[in-house]
């Protein structure tokens, strides 16, 4: 259907629209018009992606500026879904274009998705490699500039990639006919035309209207430098499923070093040394040239496509100056690296936990090895230059050294918001040391800052992003719109239940003091057994951690609980291997389609919980066993994750976010994310079972998104297993009836309903404007400097 | 065996229900004939065989128990030959039956045509000897075979479920009311068997459908657990268990074929298997790994031992593409590793001992699906489905507009008259002068206050109203009080009369109206037959009045108020009268053109 928001004509690929979708689109448009940022929370399964794309594409096609859309999602399945959604939208737009001219315009719309070489490679040998780094390295060996040059001058002398070569023949910007391509489509196109899908997408990026890729391609400076540098400033950036965006930000600037890595790095340094000696004899001029260039401070204008590694620090923190003299010479740099690796190895021998700031680390480093901060800062850049000069192949073997160099650059660049933690033992009870040197970023706003500064409109959206004000606080930005939409339903299509005790009245909880108590384990088990008896098709169960899931699966098996479940449903379990889990997931879906029914046991925040939907028969019930809050504690012993602790302290000191507040928020956003995956559309239904005593607490529940929270009744918030089963049965019986009442007008809008709403809005606006004329405008400090006013801080302390 | 010409595979002397006799296994049936009788009194089609149990070796009696698909209790045979002979005989039966059972389970129909399950149509034209219906339920051995073949009209097609006697019987057994009616009408010969079932085909079809629904394999893992029998810890092996173990762990089947009977006897094989590391590796428990060092080395079985599948990556990787929408591996390699290691609770696979167990669950579930759905075609989505499948997963179905349903056209007789009536109505209504009507209404309302105050209710009328209400209530109480005081015998007679008349009515109308198309089997009657039948039914119906009159008389003889019987039977009499009137008018209208 077509309608207007203000002067913007919208094409929406359905006959009806949910009121929340309409409201969402209005707010989105407001953000784009104001060229500001926004935080929007829309209930899961109400067609967030389609509304977003529908509005933005309408916006792009209507205004002559044609702002590019950069759409970021979390996982490859979600990227693929967004691409398919876009493809369908464009097909719809073409089909309802009114004039021929318009039709051509719609048809010339480009949309593509980018992922790694591993996922896009169709080279018969390279693509068989299991590991991403190996694929990257082998691909570079076949496609980097110097190899290509040699191969073209002297065909047959070196092996080249046919698919990549074919791409070079084509005219840039016209490598693929216009249209929207899913990842599968691009792969197929590559196979059909013998061109490389990966480089096709990379080279098309400046010319397309929509590009869809994962968060890391924009947030991780190592990747963003390569792929996202040239995107224009007026682009619209969308972070979908952004509830974990703070973690992605932190991850992109954090790094771990282990002892095997250091050993491997030391070996690589040795190999580099050998190589230099060799080159000195055969082709000394190469090294001379490099030295000369570095003296002049020339930044090599390398082709981004085959960069071995790029600088791990954010663009604005890059030093625009020449590489210091003591590491300019290749052999000096090798000696420098050797010393640094040795130093790190010595540090690893310490048998007690060390936590220090980057500054104190640098001081100690200087005292012991005389390594200065400045050369350390150039470590990554210098290594890149050296690798290019030596024309090394199979770079995956140098990945540990690359990590060390990254570590060096990061530690020398950042002071505030980072911490170094050395943990000699995996757990407190372990006796064999397995040291890990963590360099950890504590402040998510650092990595995302360049994005907010560079792009005029950044949209942060998800189904579960409550409490909304947490994100602007953590990420340090000022949204122009910040909204959460309730779910309008004519009948409750989902039933949230909080089970606090078993039928034997023993309280259940994954609190680690009691989580291995047989009574609790059995009560958790009986919840699963009872639900597998009454719920049709699929049930998804989430555990707070892998360790807990693995121990409880074993315990259930030995207690005979799983035997009961086998009687009613098949059982699938998430495993450490992603591919294996995908196959289990596929079989799970087959079992649900077939009517046999199945139970999927998986982990919240694990692989399955992100990006996989369990709508309709794939998930009629989702059970959360326990609250996720205790991830910082290992069963059997009290070990708090030091990284988490440091992060909590930082949040408290820097942004006045209390530890318990953040932990509660973190637990609830993940719980909400898991249960939200069972719904798509308003006719879909599902049960959401929260099995933990602590969910009964009102302060915990308050952190759930509004659209879930509004349907938790007082009675359903403190149930025993048998009561919950009774309520669930009743719910299923009711929901299975044909809905008699017409949803249209309430939870479904036709075009008339939209017009009605618009008329109402207009009337109200007129009224407001008149009122405003009377009032003096006194809202100038509302979105002033982005800081917190006293009122906000006062509220925080009250929120106990 | 009069009708079966099938070959006998093995025979043995065996007693059944303590009667001596001869047990025979033919290619289609397992049958037992009592000594001195000709026809077998137990005859089980092999397709019915579901499970097999044997007595222990060395037990006083050599027994064999066969469980059936329809009946777990099954049949118990005791081999009566002297000990060593009986044992070999039993082993022979056991071996044969185990094969048959495993064949039955795997769903492959046995090739012999006669062994097909009774529901599937037989070869047309050839009168296939039908296997005796599964009479195992409670059927006494003497009666059962005789019921099998009678009462079915000759020439009825075998495969038609609506004429399957066995189905009819089952339906009757499950619904006592229908059985009652059947007894009264069919057994007394008032209407024929086929007539009775006409119009009730859906019951038979439903029954046939319910029976043909194959029960899937149970989901539980094969996990033989030791039981304590007479103070000893034992694992009881049944042929069924053996079959399950072979299916679940092909490596055991391989070991079995390699070693039995050359190197090990069967008993020894199992004994050593259950003590071996191999068995412990197969057990679905992580405790077994703890017990592993207690278990002895076994040179034979340890050969078959595979390395425990407890690495983070599975040993066997199915290398096939999965649907991009659920491809988790793609996300893992979408970008390089970043960030700090996750804390130890969130590292998958830290409890290595559980991984084989988890893999076993996934494989077992996958295998169960494969047995029912067949192996999955690899890369399904990439080949056949286009975008439609892709879009279907994204679609929000309730956002589509309502599809206009065509509706069912009302077929009205003499439509013109209907509309005429309507239009006349409206024309009459139009004649009312609105102004005058309003005026009149207004006049009526004028001065209502004064009139209301003048209103006096007549005392007599009020009393009368109250009285009538009281009487009404009293009458109702009376009725509920004496609800069940009809004498038992009379009541039963009344019910019988009622249901019989109902059935006649049903048959009558069935003969009058065209039969539903979907049941038009060969037995459907042609118009002449129908007319004859309707006439017959009308004849029966005419007698209903007499019957009711008789009931009324009986009631008065028993000192019961006859009028109440009349009241009770009134509705059915009305129905009968209606039918009869219809019949007579039809006969009257049909006759003139004939003459």
The predicted complex's ipTM stands at 0.89
Question: How far is Cα A378 from Cα A403, in angstroms, rounded to an integer?
Answer: 14
> Domain residue spans in chain A?
2-129+175-251+446-484, 255-413, 494-735
Question: How far is Cα B82 from Cα B61, in angstroms, rounded to an integer?
Answer: 10
Q: What string of DSSP letters covers A552-575?
A: HHHHHHHHTHHHHHHHHSEEEE--
Which of A469, A470, A416 minimizes the C-alpha distance to A442?
A416
A324: pLDDT strictly greater than 70:
yes
Confidence of residue B412 (pLDDT cuts 50, 70, 90): low
A533: pLDDT strictly greater than 90:
yes
DSSP letter, residue B184: I
- Cβ neighbours of A427 in B, within 8 Å: 344
Interface of B with A in 78-117 (CB under 8 A): none
pLDDT on residue A237: 95
Nearest-by-Cβ selection for A80 from B324, B347, B369 = B324
pLDDT on residue B310: 76
Q: Coil, strand, or helix at residue A690?
A: strand
pLDDT on residue B268: 84
Q: What is the mean pLDDT of residues A284-288?
A: 86
CA neighbours within 13 Å on the CB side: how many for A487?
28
Q: Coil, strand, or helix at residue B32?
A: strand
Fold for A2-129+175-251+446-484, please state it: Rossmann fold (3.40.50)
Nearest-by-Cβ selection for A634 from B218, B344, B361 = B344
Confidence of residue B133 (pLDDT cuts 50, 70, 90): very low
Contact state of B330 with A76 under an 8 Å Cβ cutoff: yes
B427: pLDDT strictly greater than 90:
no
Contact state of A81 with B394 under an 8 Å Cβ cutoff: yes
Confidence of residue A781 (pLDDT cuts 50, 70, 90): very low
Q: How many residues can be counted in chain A?
A: 800
Nearest-by-Cβ selection for B357 from A80, A557, A581 = A557
* Average per-residue pLDDT for chain B: 73
Q: What is the mean pLDDT of residues B112-125?
A: 38
Most confident range (mean pLDDT) of B64-68, B219-223, B459-463 is B459-463
- Cβ neighbours of B287 in A, within 8 Å: 558
Q: Which residue of A has its CA nearest to B369?
A: A591
Confidence of residue B139 (pLDDT cuts 50, 70, 90): very low
Top-confidence residue, B292 or A675: A675
Contact state of A222 with B336 under an 8 Å Cβ cutoff: yes
pTM of the model: 0.75
B144: pLDDT strictly greater than 60:
no
Question: How far is Cα A103 from Cα B25, in angstroms, rounded to an integer?
Answer: 77
- Cβ neighbours of A580 in B, within 8 Å: 313-314, 317, 359, 362
Nearest-by-Cβ selection for A15 from B220, B357, B399 = B399
Q: Is B216 an 8 Å CB contact of chain A?
A: yes
Most confident range (mean pLDDT) of A418-432, A564-578, B116-130, B420-434 is A564-578
| Residue position matching structure tokens 């694990």 | A606
Task: Give the pLDDT confidence of A214-233 residue by residue, as tens digits.
Answer: 999 999 988 888 888 888 88
Top-confidence residue, A541 or B237: A541
Question: How far is Cα A689 from Cα A623, in angstroms, rounded to an integer?
Answer: 5
Cα of B96 vs its chain's centroid, Å: 30
Q: Which residues pair with A418 in a beta bridge?
A: A441
Q: What residue spans of B482-514 are helical by DSSP H?
A: 488-512
Give the number of other CB atoms < 10 A from CB of residue B37: 13
Question: How far is Cα A587 from Cα B370, in angstroms, rounded to an integer?
Answer: 9
Q: What is the mean pLDDT of residues A252-261?
A: 94
Closest chain A C-alpha to B379 CA, distance in angstroms: 12
Q: Is B358 an 8 Å CB contact of chain A?
A: yes
Interface of B with A in 513-542 (CB under 8 A): none
DSSP letter, residue A748: B
Q: What is the mean pLDDT of residues A546-551?
A: 90
Confidence of residue B441 (pLDDT cuts 50, 70, 90): confident
Which of A517, A607, A598, A425 minimizes the C-alpha distance to B349?
A607
- Cβ neighbours of A568 in B, within 8 Å: 219
Contact state of A115 with B287 under an 8 Å Cβ cutoff: no
Q: What is the mean pLDDT of residues A577-582?
A: 90
- Cβ neighbours of B339 in A, within 8 Å: 247, 250-252, 254-256
Give the number of other CB atoms < 10 A from CB of residue A440: 24
pLDDT on residue A300: 54
Q: Which distant-in-sequence residues (6+ apart) come within 8 Å of A37 by Cβ?
A: A31, A452, A457, A458, A459, A460, A477, A478, A479, A480
| Residue position matching structure tokens 């991850």 | A251
Confidence of residue B419 (pLDDT cuts 50, 70, 90): low
Closest chain A C-alpha to B103 CA, distance in angstroms: 23
- Give one word for A636, left, alpha or beta, with left for phi > 0 and alpha for psi -120 to 50: left
A606: pLDDT strictly greater than 50:
yes
Nearest-by-Cβ selection for B346 from A133, A545, A682 = A545
Two tokens, residue B25 = 């296994």
- Cβ neighbours of B390 in A, within 8 Å: 84, 182
Strands A8-11 and A37-41: unpaired
Q: Which residue of B has its CA nearest to A51?
A: B396
Top-confidence residue, B55 or B161: B55
Of chain B, the end-to-end C-alpha distance in Å amounts to 60
Contact state of A634 with B390 under an 8 Å Cβ cutoff: no
Sheet with strand B29-34: strands edge to edge: B42-45, B29-34, B19-26, B8-16, B75-79, B62-68, B49-54
Of chain A, the end-to-end C-alpha distance in Å amounts to 48
pLDDT on residue B136: 36
Q: Which residue of A has its CA nearest to B390?
A: A84
Q: Coil, strand, or helix at residue B220?
A: coil
Mutation target for B interface from A580, A592, A637, A750: give the one with most B CBs within 10 A: A580
Percent of chain A with pLDDT over 90: 53
Contact state of A223 with B218 under an 8 Å Cβ cutoff: no
Helix (H) or strand (E) holding A363: helix A358-369
* Average per-residue pLDDT for chain A: 87
Give the number of other CB atoms < 10 A from CB of residue B482: 11
Q: What residue spans of B260-303 are helical by DSSP H?
A: 266-275, 277-282, 287-291
CA neighbours within 13 Å on the CB side: how many for B358?
31
Contact criterion met (CB below 8 Å) for B400 and A16: yes
Q: Coil, strand, or helix at residue B495?
A: helix
Contact state of B346 with A596 under an 8 Å Cβ cutoff: no
pLDDT on residue A191: 92
Percent of chain B with pLDDT over 90: 2
Q: Which of A126-140, A668-682, A731-745, A770-784 has the lowest mean pLDDT?
A: A770-784
Q: Which residue of A has its CA nearest to B318?
A: A580
Question: How far is Cα A196 from Cα A225, in angstroms, rounded to an integer?
Answer: 22
Most confident range (mean pLDDT) of A105-109, B192-196, B531-535 is A105-109
Q: Which residue of B has its CA nearest to A631?
A: B345
Confidence of residue A460 (pLDDT cuts 50, 70, 90): very high
- Cβ neighbours of B392 in A, within 8 Å: none
Give the number of other CB atoms < 10 A from CB of residue A278: 11
pLDDT on residue A743: 67
Q: Which distant-in-sequence residues (6+ apart) come within 8 Å of A239 by Cβ?
A: A72, A215, A245, A458, A459, A460, A461
Question: How far is Cα B191 from Cα B443, in angstroms, rounded to an integer?
Answer: 70
pLDDT on residue A216: 92
Confidence of residue A283 (pLDDT cuts 50, 70, 90): confident
Q: What is the mean pLDDT of residues B269-274?
A: 84
Query: What's the burial of A265, exposed, middle or buried (CB within 10 Å: 0-12/13-18/19+)?
Result: buried
| Residue position matching structure tokens 């009134």 | B570
Q: What is the mean pLDDT of residues A502-506?
A: 90
Contact criterion met (CB below 8 Å) for A237 and A218: yes
pLDDT on residue A571: 95
Mutation target for A interface from B316, B333, B404: give the one with most A CBs within 10 A: B333
Two tokens, residue A215 = 């968060």
Closest chain B C-alpha to A726 CA, distance in angstroms: 26
Two tokens, residue A722 = 């048998």
Contact criterion met (CB below 8 Å) for A713 and A78: no
Contact state of A589 with B325 under an 8 Å Cβ cutoff: no
Helix (H) or strand (E) holding A785: none
pLDDT on residue A114: 94
pLDDT on residue A263: 96
Question: How far is Cα A391 from Cα A574, in angstroms, rounded to an integer?
Answer: 42
B580: pLDDT strictly greater than 60:
yes
Is the peptide bond between A467 and the residue preceding it cis, with omega within 30 degrees of 0? Answer: yes
| Residue position matching structure tokens 């009616």 | B181
Nearest-by-Cβ selection for A587 from B334, B345, B366 = B366
Q: Which of A516-520, A643-647, B44-48, B102-106 has the lowest mean pLDDT?
A: B102-106
Helix (H) or strand (E) holding A766: helix A751-774
Q: Which residues pair with A420 in a beta bridge?
A: A356, A439
Mutation target for A interface from B216, B361, B376: give the one with most A CBs within 10 A: B361
Contact state of B333 with A116 under an 8 Å Cβ cutoff: yes
Q: Is B401 an 8 Å CB contact of chain A?
A: yes
pLDDT on residue B332: 86
- Cβ neighbours of B216 in A, within 8 Å: 596
Two tokens, residue B470 = 């009281």
Interface of B with A in 234-293 (CB under 8 A): 284-287
pLDDT on residue A725: 95
- Cβ neighbours of A607 in B, within 8 Å: 328, 331-332
How many pairs of residues across A and B have Cβ atoms under 8 Å apart? 277
Q: Which of A523-537, A546-560, B468-482 has the lowest mean pLDDT?
A: B468-482
Cα of A667 vs its chain's centroid, Å: 17
Same fold, A2-129+175-251+446-484 and A494-735: yes
Which class is domain A494-735? alpha beta
Confidence of residue B131 (pLDDT cuts 50, 70, 90): very low
Contact criterion met (CB below 8 Å) for A602 and A542: yes
Closest chain A C-alpha to B344 CA, distance in angstroms: 7
Question: How far is Cα A371 from Cα B214, in angstroms, rounded to an integer?
Answer: 77
- Cβ neighbours of B373 in A, within 8 Å: 590, 594
Confidence of residue A796 (pLDDT cuts 50, 70, 90): very low
Question: How far is Cα A749 from Cα A257, in angstroms, rounded to an integer?
Answer: 55
Q: Which of A402-416, A493-507, B295-309, B359-373 has the lowest mean pLDDT?
A: B295-309
Report residue B68: phi and psi, to 5°: -110, 165
Nearest-by-Cβ selection for A427 from B344, B362, B373 = B344
């Amino acid at each position: 259907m077509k309608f207007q928001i203000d002067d913007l004509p919208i094409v929406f690929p359905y006959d009806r629209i949910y009121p929340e979708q309409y409201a969402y689109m209005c707010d989105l448009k407001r953000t784009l018009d104001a060229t500001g940022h926004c935080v929007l929370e829309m209930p899961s399964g109400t067609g967030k992606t389609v509304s977003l794309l529908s509005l933005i594409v309408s916006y792009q096609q209507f205004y002559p500026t044609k702002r590019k859309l950069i759409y970021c999602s979390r996982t490859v399945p979600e990227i693929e879904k967004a691409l398919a959604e876009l493809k369908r939208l464009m097909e719809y737009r073409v089909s309802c274009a009114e004039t021929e001219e318009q039709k051509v315009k719609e048809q010339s719309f480009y949309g593509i998705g980018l992922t790694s070489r591993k996922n896009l490679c169709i080279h018969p040998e390279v693509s068989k490699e299991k590991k991403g780094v190996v694929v990257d390295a082998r691909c570079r060996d076949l496609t980097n500039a110097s190899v290509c040059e040699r191969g073209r001058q002297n065909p047959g002398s070196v092996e080249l990639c046919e698919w990549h070569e074919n791409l070079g023949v084509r005219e840039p910007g016209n490598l693929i006919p216009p249209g929207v391509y899913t990842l599968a489509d691009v792969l197929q196109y590559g196979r059909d035309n013998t061109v490389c899908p990966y480089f096709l997408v990379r080279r098309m990026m400046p010319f397309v209207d929509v590009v869809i890729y994962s968060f890391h391609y924009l947030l991780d400076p190592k990747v963003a430098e390569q792929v996202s540098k040239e995107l224009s400033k007026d682009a619209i950036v969308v972070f979908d499923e952004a509830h974990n965006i703070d973690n992605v930000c932190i991850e992109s600037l954090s790094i771990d070093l282990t002892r095997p890595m250091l050993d491997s790095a030391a070996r690589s340094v040795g190999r580099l040394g050998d190589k230099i000696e060799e080159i000195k004899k055969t082709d000394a001029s190469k090294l001379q040239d490099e030295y000369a260039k570095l003296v002049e401070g020339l930044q090599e204008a390398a082709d981004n496509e085959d960069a071995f590694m790029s600088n791990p620090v954010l663009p604005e923190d890059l030093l625009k100056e020449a590489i210091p003299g003591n590491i300019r010479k290749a052999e000096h740099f090798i000696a420098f690296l050797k010393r640094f690796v040795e130093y790190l190895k010595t540090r690893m021998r310490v048998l007690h936990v060390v936590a220090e700031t980057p500054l104190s680390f640098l001081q100690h480093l200087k005292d012991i090895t005389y390594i200065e901060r400045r050369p350390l800062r150039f470590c990554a850049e210098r290594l890149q230059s050296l690798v290019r000069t030596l024309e090394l192949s199979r770079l995956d073997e140098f990945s540990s050294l690359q990590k060390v160099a990254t570590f060096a650059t990061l530690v020398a660049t950042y002071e505030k918001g980072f911490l170094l933690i050395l943990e000699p033992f995996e757990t407190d009870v372990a006796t064999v040391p397995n040291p890990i040197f963590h360099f950890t970023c504590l402040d998510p706003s650092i990595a995302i800052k360049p994005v907010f500064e560079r792009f005029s409109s950044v949209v942060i959206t998800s189904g579960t992003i409550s409490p909304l004000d947490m994100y602007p606080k953590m990420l340090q930005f000022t949204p122009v719109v910040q909204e959460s939409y309730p779910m309008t339903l004519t009948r409750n299509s989902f039933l949230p239940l909080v089970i606090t005790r078993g039928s034997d009245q023993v309280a259940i909880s994954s609190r680690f003091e009691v989580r291995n108590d047989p009574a609790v384990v059995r009560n958790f088990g009986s919840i699963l057994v009872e639900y597998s008896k009454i719920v049709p098709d699929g049930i998804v169960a989430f555990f707070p951690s892998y360790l807990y899931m693995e121990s409880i699966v074993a315990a259930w098996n030995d207690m005979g609980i799983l035997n009961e479940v086998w009687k009613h449903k098949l059982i699938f379990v998430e495993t450490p291997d992603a591919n294996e889990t995908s196959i289990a997931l596929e079989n799970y879906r087959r079992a649900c389609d077939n009517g046999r029914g199945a139970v999927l046991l998986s982990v919240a925040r694990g692989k399955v919980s992100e990006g996989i939907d369990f709508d309709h028969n794939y998930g009629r019930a989702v059970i959360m066993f326990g609250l996720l809050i205790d991830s910082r504690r290992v069963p059997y012993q009290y070990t708090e994750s030091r990284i988490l602790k440091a992060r909590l302290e930082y949040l408290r000191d820097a942004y006045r976010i209390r530890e318990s507040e953040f932990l509660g928020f973190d637990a609830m956003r993940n719980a909400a994310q898991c249960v939200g995956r069972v719904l798509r559309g308003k006719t879909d239904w599902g049960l959401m079972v929260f099995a933990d005593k602590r969910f009964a607490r009102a302060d915990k529940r308050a952190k759930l998104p509004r659209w879930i929270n509004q349907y938790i009744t007082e009675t359903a918030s403190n149930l025993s297993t048998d009561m919950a089963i009774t309520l669930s049965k009743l719910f299923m019986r009711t929901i299975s009836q044909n809905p008699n009442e017409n949803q249209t007008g309430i939870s479904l809008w036709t075009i008339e309903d939209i017009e009605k709403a618009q008329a109402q809005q207009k009337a109200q606006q007129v009224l407001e404007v008149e009122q405003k004329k009377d009032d003096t405008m006194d809202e100038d400090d509302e979105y002033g400097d982005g800081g917190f006013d006293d009122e906000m801080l006062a509220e925080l302390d009250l929120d106990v | 065996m009069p009708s079966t010409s099938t070959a006998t595979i093995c025979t043995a002397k065996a007693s059944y229900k303590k009667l001596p006799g001869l047990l025979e296994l033919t290619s289609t049936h397992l049958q037992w004939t009592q000594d001195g009788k000709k026809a077998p009194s137990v005859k089980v089609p092999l397709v019915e065989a579901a499970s097999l149990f044997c007595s222990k070796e060395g037990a006083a009696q050599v027994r064999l128990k066969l469980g059936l698909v329809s009946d777990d209790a099954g049949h118990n045979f005791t081999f009566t030959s002297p000990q060593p002979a009986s044992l070999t005989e039993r082993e022979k039966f056991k071996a044969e039956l185990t094969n048959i059972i495993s064949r039955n389970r795997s769903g492959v129909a046995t090739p012999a045509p006669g062994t097909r399950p009774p529901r599937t149509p037989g070869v047309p034209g050839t009168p296939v000897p039908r296997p005796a219906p599964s009479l195992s339920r409670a059927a006494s051995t003497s009666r059962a075979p005789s019921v099998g073949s009678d009462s079915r009209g000759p020439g009825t097609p075998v495969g038609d479920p609506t004429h399957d006697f066995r189905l009819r019987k089952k339906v009757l057994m499950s619904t006592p009311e229908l059985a009652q009616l059947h007894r009264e009408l069919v057994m007394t010969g008032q209407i024929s068997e086929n007539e009775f079932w006409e119009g009730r085909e859906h019951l038979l079809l439903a029954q046939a459908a319910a029976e043909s629904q194959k029960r899937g394999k149970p989901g539980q893992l094969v996990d033989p657990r030791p039981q304590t029998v007479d103070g000893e810890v034992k694992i009881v092996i049944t042929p069924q268990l053996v079959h399950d173990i072979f299916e679940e762990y092909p490596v055991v089947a391989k070991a079995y074929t390699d070693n039995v009977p050359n190197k090990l006897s069967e008993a020894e094989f199992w004994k050593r298997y259950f003590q071996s590391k191999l068995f412990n590796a197969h057990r679905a428990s992580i405790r077994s790994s703890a017990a592993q060092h207690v278990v002895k080395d076994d040179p034979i079985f340890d050969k078959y031992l595979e390395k425990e599948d407890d690495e983070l990556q599975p040993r066997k990787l199915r290398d096939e593409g999965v649907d991009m929408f659920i491809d988790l591996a793609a996300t893992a390699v979408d970008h390089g590793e970043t960030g700090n290691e996750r804390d130890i609770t969130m590292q998958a696979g830290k409890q290595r001992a559980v991984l084989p167990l988890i893999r076993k669950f996934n494989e077992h579930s996958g295998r169960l699906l494969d047995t029912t759905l067949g192996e999955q075609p690899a890369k399904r989505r990439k080949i056949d489905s286009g975008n439609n499948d892709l879009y279907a997963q994204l679609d929000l179905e309730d956002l589509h507009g309502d599809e206009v349903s065509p509706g069912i056209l009302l077929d009205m007789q003499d439509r013109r008259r209907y509309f005429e009536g309507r239009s006349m109505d409206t024309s009459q209504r139009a004649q009312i002068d609105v102004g005058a009507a309003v005026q009149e209404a207004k006049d009526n309302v004028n001065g209502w206050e004064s009139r209301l105050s003048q209103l006096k209710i007549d005392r007599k009328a009020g009393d009368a109203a109250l009285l009538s209400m009281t009487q009404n209530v009293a009458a109702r109480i009376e009725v509920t009080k004496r609800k069940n005081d009809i004498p038992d015998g009379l009541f039963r007679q009344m019910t019988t009369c009622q249901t019989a008349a109902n059935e006649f009515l049903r048959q009558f109308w069935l003969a009058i109206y065209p039969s539903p198309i979907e049941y038009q089997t060969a037995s459907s009657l042609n118009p002449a037959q129908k007319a004859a039948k309707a006439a017959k039914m009308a004849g029966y119906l005419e007698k209903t009045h007499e019957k009711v009159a008789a009931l009324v008389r009986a009631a008065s003889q028993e000192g019961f108020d006859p009028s109440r019987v009349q009241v009770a039977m009134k509705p059915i009499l009305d129905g009968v009268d209606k039918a009869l009137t219809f019949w007579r008018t039809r006969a009257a209208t049909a006759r003139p053109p004939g003459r």
